Amino acid sequence: MDALDLARWQFGITTVYHFIFVPITIGLSALVAGLQTAWYRTGKEHYLRATKFWGKLFLINFAMGVVTGIVQEFQFGMNWSDYSRFVGDIFGAPLAIEGLLAFFLESTFLGLWIFGWDRLPKRLHLATIWLASIGTLLSAYFILAANSWMQHPVGYEVNAETGRAELHSIGAVLTNSTTLVTFPHTVTACFLTAGALLLAVSAWHLRKGNQDQVFRPSLKLGAWVVLIAGVGVLITGDLQARIMTEQQPMKMAAAEALYDTSKPASFSLFTIGSLDGREEVASVRIPSLLSFMATGSPSGEVEGINNIQQQYAEKYGPGDYAPYVPVTYWSFRLMIGFGALAMAIALAALWLTRRGRTPANRWLWPAAIATVAMPLLANSFGWIFTEMGRQPWTVFGVFRTAESGSPAVSTGEAATSLIVLTLLYGVLAVVEVGLFLKYAKAGAPEIEPPADDTDDADRPLAFAY
């Protein structure tokens, strides 16, 4: 393994890991803000208890998202310096804007929210969590604009003299058609993730008969969010597939391991075999589905890997332009499968708990609790699919992964970094999950009667580290 392979492993590991915490942050901040709004409007105590309970889990998660995010910001320069030199003129702008507009907003207002319970008027305190939540969404937009530019570069020209990409239209970069479908797809997936978290933790408590007043509404909220967000994920995913077919036909072909151009093209639920287009042992196929996903028409033509490879070899010169197909094929299916499974369980949970029922159903509760992992897996496979499916390019059609690394970084340094960060992330995962379970199991806190407002100078803080 050379430094480039190590850098790729590090990027994969740290990014997938970072994106465990990000969707929970994005989805849960809005749900907590919603619960706090419900309390603010109705004054019902169980909403406040729910706000505090989910808020606490949110913060345990948020800390990890923040610190793993610093690595993301640094490693473009550390491990991908030639990439950074090539794209900096374009790619750096959304990153810097993300910091200025989004990171400041979420960190500052979250600090105010955490410590401001007894410092700010209720209404203003409510506004802080909403602003933090808006910050997370803004952050998602700009970073996805940067990523979308790698999938579908727009608004730029390559300067022949310097050999670098140069920005010509920031408007084009920020309204990239890829961004416009990727953002809603990602954000709905974030809500699906947070909804599943509510569903799973609430199910754990309801099964035990704990705090019904807090966790029944939370379970319903979580399940509804999973369903509604799930429908959003499906619709936006469908749009994305069509845009992807247009912009990166190789990725669509690799998603199906479709080697020869077909009209209509079927979609296989699974395949037993080597996926290299030679020896398929068995597969279960839905006729015309791939045509529909790729083109919107059940009889549409979908180009195959071999045909696209031929075109690309003519266009970009000799080389292998297909991604590693087993990864794209399976990650695409696992993404869809885990997302769909979470939706099915949410639907079952809603039905079985309708009108105050608490069924003694043997499989519902374990399934509902397991739902927490499904969107996390679906998200990870989605990113693995879209990033691996873009290979051999970092910027599709423009800049190759092979030329993106850091010449100044030795294999030993890259290996050190990969090992240190992986071990550290591993230890932190154990700590994080431990704390998360402890606080999830502890249930919603009792609300202490409000302290008298006569003199607050010496009263202990409502919240302290």
Partner 1 sequence: MELTTVWFGLIAVLWAGYFLLEGFDFGVGILLPVLGRDDRERRLLINTIGPVWDGNEVWLLVAGGATFAAFPEWYATLFSGFFLPLLIILVALIVRGVAFEYRGKRDEAEWKRRWDLCIIVGSLVPALLWGVAFGNIVRGVRLDADHEYVGGFFNLLNPYALLGGLTTLVLFTLHGAVFLALKTGGEMRERAGALAARLAVPAIAVAGAFLLWTALAHHDAAGWALSAVAALSLVGAALATRVRREGWAFLATAATIVLAVFALFVTLFPNVMPSTIADANSLTTTNAASTPYTLKVMTWVAVVFTPVVLAYQGWTYWVFRKRLTVEHIPASPIPVSPAPAGAATEAR
By CB under 8 A, the residues from 242 to 281 that bind partner 1 are none
Task: Mark the segment that binds partner 1 (CB under 8 A) among 181-189, 272-280, 319-327, 411-419.
Answer: 411-419
Task: Provide the minimum distance between the beta carbon of 1 and partner 1 in the complex, in angstroms, as a whole number.
Answer: 17
Task: Provide the minimum distance between the beta carbon of 270 and partner 1 in the complex, in angstroms, as a whole number.
Answer: 39
Task: Provide the minimum distance between the beta carbon of 105 and partner 1 in the complex, in angstroms, as a whole number.
Answer: 8
Task: Provide the minimum distance between the beta carbon of 243 and partner 1 in the complex, in angstroms, as a whole number.
Answer: 25
Q: Please answer whether residues 34 and 89 qualify as being in contact, where contact means their C-beta atoms are separated by less than 8 angstroms.
A: no
Tell me the C-alpha distance between 190 and 21, whole Å.
10
Q: Report if residue 50 touches partner 1, rule: CB under 8 A.
A: no
Task: Provide the minimum distance between the beta carbon of 384 and partner 1 in the complex, in angstroms, as a whole number.
Answer: 23
Nearer to partner 1, 269 or 424 (CB): 424
Q: Report if residue 70 touches partner 1, rule: CB under 8 A.
A: yes
One residue of 29, 51, 68, 391 binding partner 1 per CB under 8 A: 68
Nearer to partner 1, 87 or 244 (CB): 87
DSSP 458: S
Q: Please answer whether residues 450 and 41 qualify as being in contact, where contact means their C-beta atoms are separated by less than 8 angstroms.
A: no
Total residues binding partner 1 (CB under 8 A): 94
Q: Please answer whether residues 367 and 317 qualify as being in contact, where contact means their C-beta atoms are separated by less than 8 angstroms.
A: no
Q: Report if residue 211 touches partner 1, rule: CB under 8 A.
A: yes
Burial class of residue 350 in the structure, from the number of CB atoms within 10 Å of its CB (0-12 exposed, 13-18 middle, 19+ buried): middle
One residue of 56, 152, 185, 333 binding partner 1 per CB under 8 A: 56
Tell me the C-alpha distance between 447 and 232, whole Å.
36
Burial class of residue 405 in the structure, from the number of CB atoms within 10 Å of its CB (0-12 exposed, 13-18 middle, 19+ buried): buried
Structure tokens at 261: 């151009």
Q: Report if residue 43 touches partner 1, rule: CB under 8 A.
A: no
Q: Report if residue 350 touches partner 1, rule: CB under 8 A.
A: no
Nearer to partner 1, 139 or 245 (CB): 139
Site for partner 1 in 144-173 (CB under 8 A): 164, 166-168, 170
> Up-side HSE of residue 119: CA atoms within 13 Å toward CB?
12
Task: Provide the minimum distance between the beta carbon of 439 and partner 1 in the complex, in angstroms, as a whole number.
Answer: 7
Q: Report if residue 74 touches partner 1, rule: CB under 8 A.
A: yes
Structure tokens at 292: 């529909």
Q: Report if residue 424 touches partner 1, rule: CB under 8 A.
A: yes
Residue for token pair 């006729």: 287
Task: Provide the minimum distance between the beta carbon of 110 and partner 1 in the complex, in angstroms, as a whole number.
Answer: 7
One residue of 6, 48, 71, 226 binding partner 1 per CB under 8 A: 71
Task: Provide the minimum distance between the beta carbon of 405 and partner 1 in the complex, in angstroms, as a whole number.
Answer: 9
Q: Report if residue 352 touches partner 1, rule: CB under 8 A.
A: no
Task: Provide the minimum distance between the beta carbon of 61 and partner 1 in the complex, in angstroms, as a whole number.
Answer: 10
CB atoms near residue 105 (< 10 Å): 19
Q: Which of 269-296 are b and which e, b meaning 16 or more Cβ less than 10 Å from the residue's Cβ?
A: eebeeebebeeeeeeeeeebbbbbbbbe
For partner 1, what does the binding mask look like between residues 75 and 114, x meaning CB under 8 A? -xxxx-xx-xx-xxxxxxx-xxxxxxx-xxx-xxxxxx-x
Tell me the C-alpha distance between 334 and 323, whole Å.
17
Nearest to 206 by CA among 188, 221, 225: 221
Q: Report if residue 417 touches partner 1, rule: CB under 8 A.
A: yes
- Phi, then psi, of 281 in degrees rounded to 5: -85, -50
Task: Provide the minimum distance between the beta carbon of 172 and partner 1 in the complex, in angstroms, as a whole number.
Answer: 12
Tell me the C-alpha distance between 100 and 288, whole Å.
47
Q: Report if residue 409 touches partner 1, rule: CB under 8 A.
A: yes
Q: Report if residue 461 touches partner 1, rule: CB under 8 A.
A: yes
Q: Report if residue 451 touches partner 1, rule: CB under 8 A.
A: no
Q: Report if residue 370 touches partner 1, rule: CB under 8 A.
A: no
Task: Provide the minimum distance between the beta carbon of 458 and partner 1 in the complex, in angstroms, as a whole number.
Answer: 6
Q: Please answer whether residues 425 and 71 qualify as being in contact, where contact means their C-beta atoms are separated by less than 8 angstroms.
A: no
Which DSSP string corresponds to 47-66?
Answer: HHHHHHHHHHHHHHHHHHHH
Tell me the C-alpha distance between 329 and 416, whole Å.
32
One residue of 9, 13, 212, 347 binding partner 1 per CB under 8 A: 212
